[in-house]
Structure 1
C-alpha cells in the first residue's frame, strides 16, 4: 500500500512538473505572439517622440510625458502614478532663428542650448570674434575687452566634416593618414591654447559673459554627417547657440580672413521657476509573494536637441510594451512587477537614486531589475554586474527565451558592478541584482546619443520588438522562479590603473534641487 502510494505521489509530481513546464512554455509563446501580432511600439513611439517630443527635466514636455505614461498604463488596466522626488529649474524652449546678415543673407542651421537665457523676440545682432592664440593667461586677459558687444566663437573649426569611415572608404591611405595627423595637431594646439588662456570649455562661457559678450556660438560636432551634441547652456544672461559644423566653419573662416560677418540670433525661452520632478511608477501586484519585486527600468527624460528617440525613448517604450504584454498574458504574477520610468537620468541618475533612497523595502526585496538604455539595437550583451551567482538564475531564465531572440546575446559572469552610466547602477550600488540589457550600436554614439538627429526615424522596430519580448520573458521567469536571487558579491580584481583592490560602488544621493539658486 505504501509502495503504491509512493508511486502515485511520484506520478503526480511528474505530471505536475510537466504541466508546469507546459504552462511556462505557453506563457512564453503567448508573450512572443502578442508582441509580434499586436505590437503597440510604433504607436507608442509616435505619441512619445513625435507628439510629446523631447523630455528635458524641468520642462512642460517632461510633465506631459509623465501624464501620458500614467494614462497609457491605466488604459491597459495597470496601476500607475507619478511620484515626486525633487524640484528642478523650470524652463521652456521657444523659437530659435539664426541668420547671417552680412556679407550675404542666409538662415543658418542651429539652435539654442537647454536652459539658455532668452534674447527676447527682437533678438540680438552683432559681429563675431574667435578665441585668440595666446602664450599665457595675461595675454588672454588683455584680449578679453574685445568681446564686448560681440558673439564669441568658442569651438575649434573642424578640418573636415566627413566622418572617419567615409574617409576610410574613399580616400587613399596616405591622404587619410595625413588628415588624421593634421587634425590631431590642430586638436592638440587647441587644447594647449585653452590651458594657456587659463580656462576650460566648461568655464569659458561665464568669463566671456562677464566680459560683455552678447552671445556664445559653439559647434560640438558628433563626428557624423549632420550630427551635433546638444547639451545645456551655463550662462545667466546671454544665449548659447550650437551651429552645424558646416555653418560654424563658414563663419569661422570669414572671421579669420577678415570678412567680418554679422549675425542675428533670436533665441526665445521662458524661465518657469521651481517645478516638481517625477518618476512614473506602474505596478502589477504579485499574488503569492507581493512583497518581492521585479523592476522594468528605463529613464524617461532626454536632452532636447531632438526628440530623444534612442536615448531613451526606445528603452521607455520597451518597458511600456513589456508591461502591456505581461498584463495581458500573465495578469497575476507571483511577485510584484514594477515599471520605473525615471526622471533626470541625464543629470546624474537622479530619479533612480531617489527611488533607491525612498523605497528601501523594494531594494531589499528586489528579485531582479532589467534596464535598457543604450539605443535602438537588439540586446547583445548581459553581464552579471559582479554578483557571484548571477549566472545561475540569469542563465536559467535566458534558456527559456526563444533562440531567435537570444542568438545575438553574449553574456559575461560574474562581471563587474556598474559605477554609473544608467539607472541600474543606482540599484547595483545598493547591492540589489540589477542588470543592463545592452544593445547593438547602430552608430549610437556618433549619430543619436545626445544629438540633434535622435528622432523617430532612427528607431529599428524589429530590434526593439525583440527587446520587449526578451524583457517580458525575463520578468515572467524572475517572477515565477521558486528561488530568491543571490546577492553574494564576487571578489573584485585589482584596478589596472591604480594597482589597488577594487571596491563595490557606494550608494549616492540624488540631486533633489537641480539648478536652483541657493
Structure 2
C-alpha cells in the first residue's frame, strides 16, 4: 500500500510539475510579447524600408534576404528556397499632369507589369470610348486613337461610399442615387460590349491602333481607395487614376473640352528572375522530424506597401518565432515558418512547398496561417478535420480569455479550397488552420489598394495574435502524439457530399504567356 501511495504521489508531482512548466512557458510568452514586442520595428523595416513585394520585383528579393538576415540575428536558422521563376519587373516613377484646359498634377500610378512611357513621358489628348453601334463601328473608330490616351473604366456617379450616403442623405435621395448608379453601370457595360472586345483584349486593341496609353480607375468603394492590379498592355503604359481625377478627365472629354495630359510612367523589364520561399526553423529536441508550422505569404501587390496583405501576417509570424526562440528554445517538435512567394497569383509558393516536400506532409502536427488584415483573430474553422475541436479547443483554452473571448469557431467546418496558403496544406491532408481576422474595413480600404500602408496596422490586435499563435504552437509542439487527421467529406450547397480539395501544382514559370 505504501509503495502504491508513493508511486501515486510521484505521478501527481510529475503531473503538477509538467503543468507548472507549461504555465511558466505560457507566462513567459505573454510577458515577452507584452513587454518587449518588436512588431513596430519589424513592420517599419519591412513596409517602409523594403516596400511592396510584387513577385519578380527587386523588392521581393530584398524582402527574402532581409528576412533571412533578421532570423539569423535572432539565432534562428533561415534560408531561401527557390521554387520557380517569374517575369522580372521594376517599378519606376509615375507622374501624371493635366496640361489643358488647365494645369493640375493628377493622383495615380501605373499598374504592375506596365510598359514604360517614352523617356521623359509624352503629351496627348484624353478620349473616351464613344457609344458606338457595334463592333464594326468600333473598328472604324480605332484609328482615331493614335497619339491619344484612352479611358476605359466606368465613370462613378458619386465619390461618396454608401455608408456616407446612408448617414446623411434622405432615404429618397439614397435610393435614387443607387438606381441612377445601376443604370449608369449598365449603360457603360453595354457600351464596352459593343466593341466586341473582352476586358483584357480591349487595351491590346487600343495599343495596336497607336494609343499612347490606357487610363483606368478601379474604385474600391471607399474614400481615396483604388484597387491596383496588373496591366494587360504590352507596348504602352496603363495607369490607374483616383476616382476624383478620373471623373474630372472623363467629364471634360465627354463634353468636348479635349483635355490634355503629360504622362511619364517609367518601368524596367528584368527578364526571368528566380522566385523563393523563405523558411526558418527552430529545431525540435525530442521529435525533430515532426513539425508545427507557421504560415503567411510574403508577396503583395504594389499599390501601397502591402501592410495588411500580408505584411501583418508576415511580421506576426516573425515575431512568434522570435518570442518562441527566446522563451522556448528547445521545442519538442521542430517549429517551421513559411513565408510564401506569389500567393497573389495563385498560392504558388505554398503549393510548390507542398509538392517539393511531400514526404513532410504526414509529419506536420498542425499549421497556422494568417492572411486577411490587421485585426485580432475573430474566426477559426476546423477545416473539415473531425477531431479538430478536441485539440484546437485544448490549445486555445491556454490562451488568455481576453484574447479568445470573441473568437467564433466552426467545427469541424469544411476544408478551404483556396483563398490563402493554408488551403495548399489542407489539400494534402495537413491539419492547417486560418487564423481569420476582424475586418477593420479590409476589403474596402486596404485589400490590394493604394492605401495598404504602415499607418493602417493596428499593433495591439497584431500583438494579441502573436500571443495566441505562440501559445498554440507551443501546445501543439508539446502534444504527446500526432493529432487525428480524420476528415469529414465536405458538403456542397445542396447538402450533398463533395470531394476533398485536390492538391494542385504551382505555376513555376510565371508572368509569361
TM-score range, shorter chain: over 0.9
- Matched residues in 2 for 1:89 and 1:49: separation? 23
Q: CA deviation at 1:467?
A: 0.6
Counterparts of 2:226 and 2:394 in 1: how far apart (Å)?
42
| Pick aligned residue for 1:55 from 42, 53, 56 | 53
Distance 1:144 1:503 in 2: 48
The answer to whether the Cα contact below 8 Å between 1:495 and 1:501 also exists between their aligned partners in 2 is: no
Match of 2:508 among 495, 502, 512: 512
The 5 Å alignment of 1:344-383 reads: 344-383=342-381
Gapped regions of structure 2 (runs ≥ 5)? none
Quick one: distance in 2 between partners of 1:443 and 1:314?
A: 15
The aligned counterpart of 1:77 is: 75
Q: 2:389 aligns with which of 388, 391, 411?
A: 391
1:351-387 Cα offsets, whole Å, 9 max, x none, are 0000000011221211000000000000000000111
Q: 1:291 aligns with which of 289, 293, 307?
A: 289
Residue among 391, 406, 409 paired with 1:408: 406
Other-structure match for 1:275: 273
- Map Cα deviations across residues 205-255 of structure 1 (whole Å, 9 max, x no partner): 112112221100000000000000001111111000000000000000000
Matched, 1:18 2:36: no
Q: Return 158-167 or 499-508, whichever deviates more.
A: 499-508
Quote the RMSD (CA, aligned, Å). 1.1
Q: CA deviation at 1:145?
A: 2.0
Per-residue deviation at 1:500?
5.5
Q: Does 1:262 align with 2:271?
A: no
Task: Check whether the contact 1:318–1:464 (CA below 8 A) recurs between aligned residues.
Answer: yes
Q: CA deviation at 1:18?
A: 1.0
Q: CA deviation at 1:284?
A: 0.4
Hey, what's the Cα distance between the residues in 2 that align with 1:511 and 1:135?
41
User: 1:495, 1:502 within 8 Å by CA — same for their partners in 2?
Assistant: no
Query: How many residues matched?
Result: 513
Q: Report how far residue 15 of structure 1 moved.
A: 1.1
Shift of 1:23: 1.0
Aligned to 1:222: 220
| Deviation beyond 6 Å, 4+ runs, structure 1 | none
Q: Distance in 1 between matches of 2:407 and 2:420?
A: 20
Q: Which one of the candidate residues 227, 231, 237 is aligned to 2:229?
A: 231
Deviations along 1:21-57, whole A, 9 cap, x unmatched?
Answer: 1111111111011001000000000000011110011
- What are the equivalent positions in structure 2 for 1:306-321 lying under 5 Å apart? 306-321=304-319
**Aligned mate of 1:463, from 448, 461, 464:** 461
Partner of 1:4: 2
Gaps spanning 5+ residues in structure 1: where?
A: none
Specify the alignment match of 1:248 in structure 2. 246
Distance in 2, matches of 1:5 and 1:192, equals 89
Q: CA deviation at 1:134?
A: 3.1
- CA offset at residue 172 of structure 1? 0.7
Give CA-to-partner distance per residue, 1:333-358, whole Å, 9 cap, x none.
Answer: 00110010001101110100000000
Aligned pair partner of 2:499 in 498, 503, 510: 503
Matched-pair contact (CA < 8 Å) for 1:367–1:478: yes
- Please tell me whether the aligned partners of residues 332 and 478 of structure 2 are also in contact (alpha carbons under 8 angstroms): yes
TM-score for both structures, normalised by structure 2: 0.98
Query: Residues of 1 paired with 2:358 and 2:187: CA distance?
Result: 50
TM-score by length of structure 1 reads 0.97
Q: What SS class does the counterpart of residue 94 from structure 1 fall into?
A: strand
